[in-house]
């Protein structure tokens, strides 16, 4: 690894959520060139009735409990509809059996779903009598080569890209290890990380992933380091918040709040506002958000007041209270406020973050003195870019984003 001379990774192996050192070395062995890491499962498309499949080389197909896949002879590049009926799967006019369907491409990128090629293999998991989820099982590094360029600007510094690769790898592996018994681990969008398949990859991202292969950020005593949900967002606005305050995650030092200062002040949304929204419009949005989550807010009475109920030690608001016309009080974490205000919102009337002041103007709420873009937990991407331009190596960028953390090799 090109940066090994300036920073020493700890040789480590991920076991469940633990990253336990198998042996201590002055310099870890270089990552093998064939290392691709564990497989993550991305739910590309939920509850589909039909998708189109095309292959440039004949893939293998396995259905249900079959132990041996079969070669599927299809014409190169022809778009074939995949449907599920009472008797099983049909690819074009060919019946391919019943049960969970797995299609294994002959090579990465040789098979596309709805016109988009991906690395890895595909599973089609029945959800109803005639619908199914489309899941892409892909090795972590193949996944990251698409994620990193979708999460960073094309012109950003290579060291920022490498920092993003380490953080995104940690986030994905943690999520995969904690996904429980479901058939997938990650969404392909901002609910997890943005993933677009082979067409989204770039040379800079591929290099960043390869140069940091196997490296994750972890926390804990030597020999008992554990990965954690390494969040990142666009711009912290100068003060981050803890994952506990934002999402209710268990409090941990690497994901605690930090007073960063104006490192990311070149970001276009470092400062923003004011945003003014009528209370009756807020009521409609809050009800819509409550309905989408099946929460009591779906029956909220008209909004009377909205206020900041608590801020963290650096002055960033982290708890909000809404009182409706019947005197009911709703207490929300910071991200719940942002999600609720932005539910079904018109363009130009959304909150970039919950880091703002709130002024009651009678029939309206004014959100002003806003800072940052996104949830503000973990690594700030604009801070990462600023530090990379200042000459920081990617290792230091990552470690500065997660207090009391260390870099270890997971595979």
Give the model confidence (pLDDT) of 297-330 as tens digits: 999 999 999 999 999 999 999 999 999 999 999 9
In this structure, how many other beta carbons lie within 10 angstroms of the beta carbon of residue 81? 13
Contact 216, 408 (CB under 8 A): yes
Tokens representing 115 are 């016109």
Query: Distance (Å, rounded) from C-alpha 314 to C-alpha 376?
Result: 13
The string of pLDDT tens digits covering residues 92-110 is 988 888 889 999 999 999 9
Residues 47, 132 contacting (CB under 8 angstroms): yes
pLDDT tier, 14 (very low <50, low <70, confident <90, very high otherwise): very low
What residues does each domain of the chain span? 10-37+141-230+378-409, 50-130, 271-371
Q: How far apart are CA 261 and CA 327, in angstroms?
A: 39
- pLDDT tens for residues 109-159? 999 999 999 999 999 999 998 999 999 999 999 999 999 999 999 999 999
Q: Residues near 28 by Cβ (< 8 Å), separated by ≥ 6?
A: 4, 8, 9, 10, 11, 409
**Cβ proximity of 174 and 228 under 8 Å:** yes
Pairing of β 51-55 and β 111-113: antiparallel
Looking at every residue in the chain, the average pLDDT score rounds to 91
pLDDT digits (tens, 9 = 90+) for 374-387: 999 999 999 999 99
Tens of pLDDT, residue by residue over 174-221, are 999 998 889 999 999 999 999 999 999 999 999 999 999 999 999 999
Confidence at 9, pLDDT banded by 50, 70, 90: low
């Amino acid at each position: 690894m090109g940066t090994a001379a300036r920073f020493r990774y700890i040789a480590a192996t991920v076991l469940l959520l633990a990253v336990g050192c198998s042996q201590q070395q002055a310099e870890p062995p270089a990552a093998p060139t064939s290392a691709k890491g564990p497989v993550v499962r991305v739910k590309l498309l939920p509850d589909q009735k039909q998708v189109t499949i095309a292959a440039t080389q004949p893939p293998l197909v396995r259905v249900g409990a079959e132990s041996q896949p079969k070669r599927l002879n299809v014409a190169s590049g022809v778009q074939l509809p995949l449907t599920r009926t009472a008797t099983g799967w049909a690819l074009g006019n060919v019946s391919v059996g019943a049960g969970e369907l797995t299609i294994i491409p002959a090579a990465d990128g040789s098979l596309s779903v709805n016109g988009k090629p991906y690395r890895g293999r595909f599973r089609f998991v029945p959800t109803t009598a005639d619908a199914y989820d489309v899941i892409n099982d892909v090795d972590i590094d193949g996944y990251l080569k698409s994620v990193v360029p979708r999460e960073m600007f094309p012109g950003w510094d290579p060291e920022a890209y490498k920092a993003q690769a380490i953080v995104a790898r940690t986030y994905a592996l943690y999520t995969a290890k904690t996904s429980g018994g479901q058939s997938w681990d990650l969404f392909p969008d901002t609910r997890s990380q943005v993933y677009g398949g082979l067409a989204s990859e770039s040379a800079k991202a591929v290099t960043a992933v390869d140069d940091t292969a196997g490296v994750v950020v972890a926390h804990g005593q030597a020999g008992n380091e554990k990965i954690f949900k390494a969040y990142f967002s666009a711009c912290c606005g100068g003060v981050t918040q803890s994952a506990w305050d934002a999402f209710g995650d268990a409090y941990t030092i690497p994901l605690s709040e930090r007073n960063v200062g104006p490192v990311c002040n070149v970001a276009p949304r470092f400062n923003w506002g004011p945003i003014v929204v009528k209370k009756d419009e807020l009521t409609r949005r809050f009800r819509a958000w409550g309905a989408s989550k099946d929460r009591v807010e779906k029956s909220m009475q008209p909004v009377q007041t909205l206020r900041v109920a608590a801020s963290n030690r650096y002055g960033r608001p982290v708890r909000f209270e809404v009182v409706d016309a019947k005197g009911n009080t709703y207490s929300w974490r910071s991200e719940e406020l942002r999600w609720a205000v932005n539910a079904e919102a018109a363009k130009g009337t959304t909150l970039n973050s919950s880091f703002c002041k709130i002024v009651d103007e009678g029939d309206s709420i004014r959100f002003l003195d806003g800072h940052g873009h996104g949830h503000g937990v973990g690594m700030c991407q604009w801070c990462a870019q600023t530090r990379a331009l200042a000459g920081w190596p990617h290792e230091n960028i990552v470690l500065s984003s997660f207090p009391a953390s260390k870099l270890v090799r997971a595979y």
